[in-house]
Amino acid sequence: MTALDLPANDETPAESATVATTPSSPAAPAAAPGHEQALIVRRLGRAEYIATWRAMQRFTAGRAAHTPDELWVVEHPPVFTLGQAGRSEHLLDTQDTPVVHSDRGGQVTYHGPGQVLVYMLLDLRRLGIYVKEMVYRIETAVMQTLASYDVDGRRIRGAPGIYVPYDGARSHGEFGGCAKIAALGIKISHGCSTHGVALNVAMDLRPFQRINPCGYASLTTIDLATLGVPAHWDDVADRLVERLAAHFSTSVPAPGSALASTAVSNEPAAARAI
């Protein structure tokens, strides 16, 4: 297997600086012009946030016009992240959890074990879409993933992400009766995206109580386990990647096989599925 170089830094122990991946590298030769682009999927395991972020930046900076798009599937150790618009007053009690000021969009969120993150390294110009359409497709993929577990995922106008009805959620305000189960944070640079989507599977949700999630004091955060869905991290990751690939690649992976293959290359995605 090859290795994706995730550099050590002050917040990344040297032993976790290199993460094993599928046999391909961000520097792999670009696809020839006029050929179908495959969507490459990488499973990074558990990796530090800063190391993964820097690797995304290097990948994007080194892209060529025909570099295949990639999805990176990862789980992070505990970390709070502030987006470009993030305000420190939304960090209520960080205790000993690291805080990273990131270049993604949005306010403050928490990443930790039991959460599936999919980072989306896409050339939006080649896909012919803008960021609003990208967000819509990601949200659709999350809702389809949740539906496969009989969970009712919903959008809330003006608040990107996916929400679910939950009796324990605050009943007042813009989220009345709903809790957030998936968060989005995107950065677009020269028409290419970094960062992506986080879906809560089976987490320690207490750190979310030490922030105003996404900048909202009234927002309750939830995961599949709290909803009574005994899903495994790997299974949720497989289902989410399969749905994302259906919406963002020129081809659709066979069900359950998205993470088993380096390149997804089956039947073209139908426009009506978007």
The residues annotated with a catalytic role in the active site are: 214
> What strands lie across the sheet with 99-101, from one edge to the other?
99-101, 79-82, 108-111
Radius of gyration, CA atoms only, the chain:
18
DSSP letters, the chain, are --EEE---BTTB-GGGSEEE-SS--TTSPPPPTTSPPPEEEEEEEE--HHHHHHHHHHHHHT--TTPPPEEEEEE--SEEEE-TT--GGGB---TTS-EEE-SSSSSEEEE-TTEEEEEEE-BHHHHT--HHHHHHHHHHHHHHHHHTTT---EEETTEEEEEEE-TTS-SSSTTTTEEEEEEEEEEEETTEEEEEEEEESS---GGGGGB-GGG-TT--B--TTTTT----HHHHHHHHHHHHHHHHSSSBPPTT-TTT-SEE-SBPPPGGG-
